[in-house]
Chain A
């Protein structure tokens, strides 16, 4: 009975309308991405870097997008900013930012929003800052693109921003060049630059990956402080579930250009439903674990985006794919609600997934879980 119902839903999905989030009315949230697809034609074939991604984000909320390299996280964020313009990318779907649709909009209009209403922090602050211009000048430039102010006023604003993100002696260091900053300070300067126009949407693409472990926590704290202060919506893109656990309200797990699991942070961390998410949790380094257990890697390699595996893109690496009698290899799984607001794309029956999670996965992760509970108890 349940099986037949799911089959029906799968059939509808193949006929189009791949995501249940899609509707046609303009949204009331800040950001609403609907069925976003970013395809790159290459000599070897069509690269489906992002293939039908939908999510929404309200002001003051943080969304974590998680996935391996090549899962489409960064391509998604660049599409939101309109930075694929001028490349061979073919973009379809809708991106609504504060009531305006961006995919079909004039690139010049999107450019006016870029850096202004939406801003981005990149992975490697050294290569992302121009080596020939002082940090201050780069912030001043960002501010003056969208604000008609004098150089002096912009400079004062830059000093203020640098001070706010925790650069000591901001008034003198504003004239320093990126190479005179440490890695953490460079990322702080990047954040100051991104915040210069008080954006409503801030996208941080692996903001701590290139940094020292000791600096990572500081930068994450800074981002969440600033979010509270500026009230902006934040998208954190990362492969590090620890970062997501610390900052995100909602979590979007991507695999092979598609969303495989999407829900609140509680949903995804406390009752994850997708085998890929289980794999990510198993391979996550945790300091709170009692025993020095082995990390459990996910077998295999990320899928080719040109020849995406048939059916569920994760099936070649999925330890539970056989439980479905071939459905995983034949049929693309649909994003379906496992609980209200918790979407999962997996062919395993819900009851089966719950069973596997509580009986197999959770205990294997949870030398720690039990230990934590034991500590919290007295």
Chain B
């Protein structure tokens, strides 16, 4: 896309710098607001609901704690202090790290400190960091698959509207959109892992450990996840392409004597893909926060499973951390989408 003739060249892109700077400033502001809201949900709302700091602290310690232990935690997490101070400590922790000190018990949580899980006796961030590659591998691999196949099928369907190909593709797409991952995933596992063990013993293996095994074990989860999204994208692309190919500027391109293939790719697809870029960024950002169903189905310990376990264990620091991280991904994805959008569509550049 960057090399195509007619795409915006240097002067246009240079004009985008103020736009990008503005978006960056807004993004930082947005992240701050997200942190405030998240913080408020976990600390302000319980207080408004009438919980005192002791009751709040109870949720942070193990089962059947002694009152003394609860008080220690209460002091250690600073629940006895005003909310503004607590929020300040929370943000400070993300940037500088935090010390959790209560009497003789000293705990250091290095930056970025998203909290300290007392149930697991370790800071939240390293735990999330070790689960992130699983989710990222899943999300990015599947994203490539669904983007390529979804849009390709959508374009072909649009160009061959009403043919057998179109009807078949849209029928399968409807199935893809309707079938939940825990169904398609389990069917895929049953067929290709147990009945015909092409992919036996599916589990996550690090990319750096064994790239081949990494890819082989991820093929089933990738396809399962991509099937759902590809179906969605095929339908979106088809609709967008049908609309675009009816535009006046397509008629102009044909009136110039341009070859039909170029009319479709250069004039039709370019315009039809713009909304796809937007949705793609959002979907990818959301997935990076945890592909819950896929991870669960294929027992891969990524951020999604991390979240499920954190909720089951009522581990507030973990939930807070993963919410912040997921929000971060969505905000960043939005930023990238905005910039991409400006690259693609000159009308939003200024």
Residues facing B in A178-196 (CB within 8 A) are 179, 190, 193
- B251 contacts A111, C-beta separation under 8 Å: no
- A122 contacts B271, C-beta separation under 8 Å: no
A20 at the interface (CB under 8 A from B): no
- B248 contacts A145, C-beta separation under 8 Å: no
- B256 contacts A115, C-beta separation under 8 Å: yes
A152 at the interface (CB under 8 A from B): no
Residues facing B in A81-136 (CB within 8 A) are 81, 83, 86, 111-116, 119-120, 122, 124, 127-134
| Of the residues A119, A120, A130, A134, contact of B249 by C-beta under 8 Å | A130
- What is the interface of chain B, defined by CB distance below 8 A to chain A? 5-6, 8, 11-12, 247-249, 251-260, 267, 270-271, 344-347
- In the assembly, what is the distance between CA of A130 and CA of B274, in Å? 14
- In the assembly, what is the distance between CA of A141 and CA of B263, in Å? 11
- What is the interface of chain A, defined by CB distance below 8 A to chain B? 81, 83, 86, 111-116, 119-120, 122, 124, 127-134, 137-138, 140-142, 145-146, 151, 175, 177, 179, 190, 193
A116 with B257: in contact, given A131-B271, A131-B346, A175-B11 (CB under 8 Å)? yes
- In the assembly, what is the distance between CA of A177 and CA of B6, in Å? 11
When distances are taken between beta carbons in the complex, the residues of chain B under 8 Å from A132 are 270-271, 344-346
- In the assembly, what is the distance between CA of A190 and CA of B249, in Å? 11
- In the assembly, what is the distance between CA of A59 and CA of B233, in Å? 51
When distances are taken between beta carbons in the complex, the residues of chain A under 8 Å from B11 are 175
When distances are taken between beta carbons in the complex, the residues of chain B under 8 Å from A179 are 346-347
- A122 contacts B346, C-beta separation under 8 Å: no
- A111 contacts B347, C-beta separation under 8 Å: no
By beta carbon, the residue of chain B nearest A116 is B257
When distances are taken between beta carbons in the complex, the residues of chain B under 8 Å from A190 are 252
15 contacts between A and B (CB under 8 A): A114-B255, A114-B256, A115-B257, A128-B249, A128-B251, A130-B253, A130-B267, A132-B270, A132-B346, A134-B12, A141-B256, A145-B257, A177-B346, A177-B347, A193-B256
Nearest-CB distance from B314 to chain A (Å)? 51
- B251 contacts A114, C-beta separation under 8 Å: no
- In the assembly, what is the distance between CA of A132 and CA of B251, in Å? 15
- B249 contacts A83, C-beta separation under 8 Å: no
By beta carbon, the residue of chain B nearest A112 is B257
- In the assembly, what is the distance between CA of A114 and CA of B263, in Å? 14
Nearest-CB distance from A71 to chain B (Å)? 19
When distances are taken between beta carbons in the complex, the residues of chain B under 8 Å from A138 are 6
When distances are taken between beta carbons in the complex, the residues of chain B under 8 Å from A131 are 249, 271, 345-347
Beyond contacts A134-B6, A141-B256, A141-B258: 15 other A-B pairs, Cβ-Cβ < 8 A, are A86-B260, A111-B259, A115-B258, A128-B248, A128-B249, A128-B251, A130-B253, A131-B249, A131-B345, A131-B346, A132-B271, A132-B346, A138-B6, A142-B257, A145-B257
- B248 contacts A124, C-beta separation under 8 Å: yes
By beta carbon, the residue of chain B nearest A78 is B251
Chain B residues touching A, majority SS:
helix
When distances are taken between beta carbons in the complex, the residues of chain A under 8 Å from B5 are 137, 141, 151
- In the assembly, what is the distance between CA of A175 and CA of B267, in Å? 18
Nearest-CB distance from B347 to chain A (Å)? 5
A113 with B251: in contact, given A131-B345, A131-B346, A132-B271 (CB under 8 Å)? no
| Of the residues A127, A145, A175, A177, contact of B256 by C-beta under 8 Å | A145
Nearest-CB distance from A350 to chain B (Å)? 41
- A111 contacts B257, C-beta separation under 8 Å: yes
A146 with B247: in contact, given A131-B345, A132-B271, A132-B346 (CB under 8 Å)? no
- In the assembly, what is the distance between CA of A47 and CA of B248, in Å? 22
- In the assembly, what is the distance between CA of A197 and CA of B258, in Å? 13
Nearest-CB distance from B159 to chain A (Å)? 10
Nearest-CB distance from A122 to chain B (Å)? 6
Nearest-CB distance from B248 to chain A (Å)? 4
By beta carbon, the residue of chain B nearest A175 is B11
A114 with B247: in contact, given A131-B346, A133-B6 (CB under 8 Å)? no
- In the assembly, what is the distance between CA of A75 and CA of B100, in Å? 78
Closest 10 CB pairs of A and B: A115-B257, A115-B256, A114-B257, A127-B248, A137-B6, A130-B249, A142-B256, A128-B248, A177-B346, A128-B252
| Of the residues A120, A140, A151, A175, contact of B255 by C-beta under 8 Å | A120
Nearest-CB distance from B350 to chain A (Å)? 9
Nearest-CB distance from A118 to chain B (Å)? 9
A130 with B252: in contact, given A141-B6, A151-B5 (CB under 8 Å)? yes
When distances are taken between beta carbons in the complex, the residues of chain A under 8 Å from B346 are 131-132, 134, 177, 179
- In the assembly, what is the distance between CA of A112 and CA of B257, in Å? 6
Nearest-CB distance from A110 to chain B (Å)? 9
When distances are taken between beta carbons in the complex, the residues of chain B under 8 Å from A151 are 5
By beta carbon, the residue of chain B nearest A179 is B347
- B259 contacts A130, C-beta separation under 8 Å: no
When distances are taken between beta carbons in the complex, the residues of chain A under 8 Å from B8 are 134
When distances are taken between beta carbons in the complex, the residues of chain A under 8 Å from B248 are 122, 124, 127-128
Nearest-CB distance from A180 to chain B (Å)? 8
- B254 contacts A130, C-beta separation under 8 Å: no
Nearest-CB distance from A93 to chain B (Å)? 21
By beta carbon, the residue of chain A nearest B270 is A132
- In the assembly, what is the distance between CA of A81 and CA of B255, in Å? 7
- A127 contacts B257, C-beta separation under 8 Å: no
- In the assembly, what is the distance between CA of A151 and CA of B5, in Å? 10
By beta carbon, the residue of chain B nearest A86 is B260
When distances are taken between beta carbons in the complex, the residues of chain B under 8 Å from A83 are 251, 254-255
- In the assembly, what is the distance between CA of A130 and CA of B262, in Å? 14
- B257 contacts A146, C-beta separation under 8 Å: yes
Q: Max chain A CB contacts within 10 Å: which of B253, B257, B260, B271? A: B257
| Of the residues B249, B254, B270, contact of A114 by C-beta under 8 Å | B254
Q: Max chain A CB contacts within 10 Å: which of B5, B252, B258, B344? A: B252
